[in-house]
Amino acid sequence: MEFFEAIWDIFSRDATYVIAALFAGLLVLAASGEWVAERAGTINISVEAMLLSGAFVGAIGYDITSSPIVAIGAGAIGGMIIASIQAEMSHRMAADQFVVGLTLNILVFGVAAFLDREIAPDVRLASTWDIPLLSDIPLIGQALFGQPWPFYLIYLVVPFSWWLVFRTRWGLELRAVGENPQSADVNAIDVNKRRRQAIYYTGFTSGLGGAFLILVQIGEFNESIVGGRGFIAIAAVIFGGWTLRGTIAGCVLFATALSFRLSLSGYDINSELLQSLPFLVTILGMAVFAHRVRPPVALARPFVRGLK
Amino acid sequence: MSELDIARTSAPDSAPPSRAARLGEWIGMYTVSVLVALTVSAILVEATGGDWRPVMDALVDGSVQNPGRWGETLGVAAPMLLVALGVVVSAKAGLINIGQEGQLAIGAAFAVYFSFLIGGPGPLNVVILLLAGALGGALWAGVAGVLRFWRGVPEVLSTLLLVTVAGQAVAYGLRKSSLLLADEASRGNRNQVSEQLAPDNRLPRPDIFGNEFPITVYIALVLAAFIAFMLARSVWGFRLRMLGQNQRTAQRAGVSQRQYGMVALMIGGALAGLAGAAMFAGGEFSFGNYRLVPGFSANIGWTGLLVALVARERALAAIPVAFAFAALRTGSGFVAATGVESRITDVIQGLLVLALLMPPAVMFILDRRRVRAVSAART
């Protein structure tokens, strides 16, 4: 009984939702970009590096200009720098995408830690905008409409990702590349170019995610702020069965589970279980729905013309 | 991208080069890549106000030159090599297992649990401990295998996702005294730490020319030779390679994907688990001094994976690569003393891996151009 009272207690507090929304915002930004890349048939495990690079370059941008707008732009550039290495090496030079991704994760962590000691950029949270009326909705109002303003970027990025993939010629070609690269190639679509572009888009949104991290959620930079959440974003895409709707649902679910660690701090909850929950749920989901949910056919298969 | 430009300008229109010229090309490209990586690292150090020369000296001192250091490096290289060998086996079967970090942690946890559960006299316990480690890693990889071959879940995803789960599971075990946590008398005020391994249960550390290293090194070297032989010269290895190169041919030839794939994945996991057990019983100080602690796996699993991939999935080539990566690691301890942030070794390692990826990719493009040039000349 006490357990249920505790749960009720948590779910009737505004703070729970605010924390969960902050966790979710970062995941949504990274995962919606990763979703685009995976629809193009490439698993981009350097999301972690892109988030960290976005956060770091964003922090430097803020340090120089004290302007959150510049910080966001710098963050996007930071993400795209990593994306350029990932894309050019794995889809132009035909190096293994996992090696490149893993290496970038290690490399960016090292560079960020190294440069942070030397530069130590100064960052502050962006100012909060309460959206009138909407932010007065009980429980979820503050969480969704009463946040520091860069939070509202997610309301642009998510529909834009959907529009890009499902309502443009580029998106159609992108999905073709993910499903059947050989046919796409025969139809004069440059397979590896589409994949590179998709990775650049992941870099862009993850860079925004990095800026989000420093401007909305944490308000300072250190090299461990991302802390494996890039991998959770990847898990969310898989959990969502490679649909955008499912991906967002995964982000919200995982963010809620993760935020319990903060909002449940007074109660005795198994924190190891909470932290591995996103991964366990995703694995179980894949095992149970494996025959109904289908990954893009060419997922993680490099394309070289003439080789199958 | 500079290599790419070289490739473009030097696209030959004559016959393919001789074997010696090709070897020369390979060596040249690898040398240039490594130099570029080191130069970029040096520039980074200089740009932040440091001096690169003492950093390089410290790296060399810390990894091979100072007394006792190359033994230390070998001790770190051994688990990396074991992990890499596992990657080689599963990669040959066409399976992308990237969860060694987790398999290693579970292997170490199994080793700890069973060695204290069973006890037994010294040498016997060491054997039990290593076998338990291999078993743990194999079971953890087996989870991914079952998901892959019975439920159709791509093993890339499941092994990746299981890494975090493994780390958390071990952390959980370290909070329960019924599982891994030491009793209060031996752990003092430390929180999540296992019992310390008794001295007669540890892996022997022979002393050679003043360098001490656990016998894991020999085990790893023997296994590397054995695996290279099995993959190249046995029926089993042939079938495994067939499975990796063409699933349909393998099926026609009667190679069960389920059976061979499962075995390949579990061998990969077992070797990672063995590495974990050996790290626990082999006792480098950086690995927790004969105790299991949270974060015990210390990125050895990830690095071992990189070793295998840089060695282009060949067992014998993994030996020097593992040593080089281990040298960066043991050298990093000395770098801190020069006043430059020791994280620079992470940067050097990352840049080196990226640089080492370049030559095969450039060579691939070059070869394609040559073939095209030859076929164009004929028509």
**3-class state of residue A305 by DSSP:** coil
> Scanning every residue of chain A, which has its alpha carbon at the shortest distance from the alpha carbon of B147?
A287
* CB distance B216 to B227 below 8 Å: no
* pLDDT tens-place string over residues B29-76: 989 998 999 999 889 888 877 788 888 888 888 888 888 788 888 889
CB within 8 Å: A118 and B49: yes
Question: DSSP secondary structure string, A5-45?
Answer: HHHHHHHT-HHHHHHHHHHHHHHHHHHHHHHHHHHTT---T
What is the rounded average pLDDT of the residues B174-198?
76
Cβ contact (<8 Å) for A273 and B172?
yes
Provide mean pLDDT across the span B225-252. 92
Cα angle: A154, vertex A160, A162; to 5 degrees: 105
pLDDT above 90 as % of chain B: 32
Q: How far is A95 from chain B (nearest CA, A)?
A: 6
Q: Does the beta carbon of B43 lie under 8 angstroms from any beta carbon of chain A?
A: no
Q: Is A273 on the interface with B (CB under 8 A)?
A: yes
CATH fold for the domain made of A2-128+143-289? ABC transporter involved in vitamin B12 uptake, BtuC (1.10.3470)
For residue B171, give the chain A residue with the closest CA.
A272
For chain A, give every domain's residue range: 2-128+143-289
> Helix count (H) and strand count (E) of chain A?
13, 0
Is residue A304 scored above 80 in pLDDT? yes
Q: Is the pLDDT of residue B4 over 60?
A: no
State which residue of chain A sits closest to B312, comparing Cα positions. Answer: A96
Question: What secondary structure does DSSP assign to A232-265, as a single string?
Answer: HHHHHHHHTTT-HHHHHHHHHHHHHHHHHHHHTT
Nearest to A290 among B151, B161, B310 (CB): B151
SS3 (DSSP) at B119 = coil
pLDDT averaged over chain B? 85
Least confident of A33-47, A100-114, A139-153, B159-173: A139-153
DSSP B286: G
**Average pLDDT score over residue span B294-313:** 86
C-alpha span between B66 and B213 (Å, rounded): 15
Contact A272 B171 (CB under 8 A): yes
Instruction: Determine how many CB atoms are found less than 10 A away from the CB of residue B229.
Output: 13
What percentage of chain A carries pLDDT values higher than 70?
A: 94
Contact A102 B165 (CB under 8 A): no
Number of CB pairs < 8 Å for A and B? Answer: 138
Instruction: Indicate if the pLDDT at residue A166 is higher than 90.
Output: yes
State the pLDDT at residue A263. 63
What are the tokens at B236? 């089993």
pLDDT in tens, A182-197: 999 999 999 999 999 9
Distance of CA B199 to the CA centre of its chain: 27
As a whole number, mean pLDDT of residues A236-249 equals 91
**pLDDT tens digits, A279-294:** 888 888 888 877 777 8
Whether residue B351 lies within 8 A of chain A, CB to CB, comes out as yes
Q: Classify each residue of B322-360 as buried b or exposed e, where b means 16 or more C-beta atoms within 10 Å of its C-beta.
A: bbbbbbbbbbbbbbeebebbbbbbbbbbbbbbbbbbbbb
Closest-CA distance of chain B to residue A155, Å: 28
pLDDT band at A264 (very low <50, low <70, confident <90, very high): low
B311 and A CB contact within 8 Å: no
By C-alpha distance, the chain B residue nearest A105 is B350
Residue A40 has pLDDT above 90, yes or no: yes
Question: Side-chain half-sphere of B237: how many Cα atoms within 13 Å?
Answer: 13
Q: Do the Cβ atoms of B349 and A110 come within 8 Å?
A: yes
Q: Where are the domains of chain B?
A: 79-312
Q: Mark residue B289 as left, alpha or beta (left: phi above 0; alpha: psi -120 to 50; beta: remaining).
A: left
Calculate the alpha carbon distances from A104 to A45, B243, B281, B329, B373 in Å.
9, 30, 32, 17, 35
Pick from B306, B341, B358: which is nearest to A114 by CB? B341
The pLDDT assigned to A1 comes to: 62
- How many angstroms separate the CA of residue A292 from the nearest CA in chain B? 11
Q: Which residues pair with B125 in a beta bridge?
A: none
Instruction: With beta carbons under 8 A apart, name residues in chain A contacting B172.
Output: 270, 272-273
**A98 or A85, higher pLDDT:** A85
- pLDDT band at residue B11 using 50, 70 and 90 as cut-offs: very low
Largest Cα–Cα distance of chain A, in whole Å?
64
What average pLDDT score do residues B199-216 get? Answer: 79
pLDDT at A308: 47
User: Which residue in the block uniquely carries the two structure tokens 């924390």?
Assistant: A19
Burial of B8 (0-12, 13-18, 19+ CB in 10 A): exposed
pLDDT of residue A48: 93
Q: Is B158 on the interface with A (CB under 8 A)?
A: yes
- Does the structure show a pLDDT above 90 at B313? no
Q: How confident is the model at residue B1 (pLDDT cuts 50, 70, 90)?
A: very low
Contact state of B154 with A299 under an 8 Å Cβ cutoff: yes
B226 contact A CB<8A: no
Average pLDDT over residues A25-54: 94
pLDDT at A269 (0 to 100):
64
Please state, in angstroms and rounded to a whole number, the distance separating the CA atoms of residues B252 and B67.
Answer: 57
A100 touches chain B (CB under 8 A): yes
Put simply, the answer to whether B302 touches A102 (Cβ < 8 Å) is yes
pLDDT at B18 over 70: yes
pLDDT at A141 over 90: no
What's the mean pLDDT in B193-220? 81
Which of A113-122, A284-293, B237-246, B265-274 is least confident?
Answer: A284-293
- Cβ neighbours of A299 in B, within 8 Å: 154
What is the arithmetic mean of pLDDT over B212-223?
A: 89
Question: For residue range A194-226, what is the model confidence (pLDDT) as tens digits?
Answer: 999 999 999 999 999 999 999 988 888 888 888
* Residue in A with minimal Cα distance to B168: A272
* B152 touches A at CB < 8 Å: yes
Provide the chain B residues 278-307 that lie in CB contact (below 8 A) with chain A.
299, 302, 305-306
Rank A140-149, A278-287, B137-146 by mean pLDDT and report only the highest.
Answer: B137-146
Confidence of residue A116 (pLDDT cuts 50, 70, 90): confident
ipTM of the complex as predicted: 0.82
Between the two ends of chain B, the Cα-to-Cα distance in Å is 32
- The pLDDT of residue B2: 47
> With contacts defined as CB-CB under 8 Å, which chain A residues touch B164?
228, 231, 275-276, 279
pLDDT of residue B80: 94
Q: Which two tokens stand for residue A292?
A: 């109904």
Supply the pLDDT for residue B287: 65
